[in-house]
Amino acid sequence: MQELQSITSLPESPDEERNRRFLNYSIAMGIRFVCVILCFFVQGWWLVLPVIGAVFLPYVAVVVANARMAGPGASVERPGQILPYREPGA
């Protein structure tokens, strides 16, 4: 028996996915900006933390922004009641 799929189990729309990725990337770049500013005010060994944040956050932000979230609807291959095409007489 084939399981019927509802509209709520469909994957995220491309616009929603793009907006989510843009928001995640913007938050990471905002944190990086704060790290760069802190580099001018922090002294001693504490300076290492904002420098590491400023150097490695761009890479992490790109990886996180481009990561695809596999939600519950990610396995949709075809609508529930549509059968694959078969040649007549086969």
pLDDT tens readout for residues 38-83: 999 999 999 999 999 999 998 988 887 777 665 555 555 555 666 6
Nearest to 35, CA basis, from 18, 22, 15, 52: 52
Q: Who wins on pLDDT, 76 or 4?
A: 4
**What's the predicted TM-score (pTM) here?**
0.62
Residue 11 CB-density burial (10 A; 0-12 exposed, 13-18 middle, 19+ buried): middle
pLDDT of 28 strictly over 60: yes
Least confident of 2-6, 19-23, 31-35, 46-50: 2-6
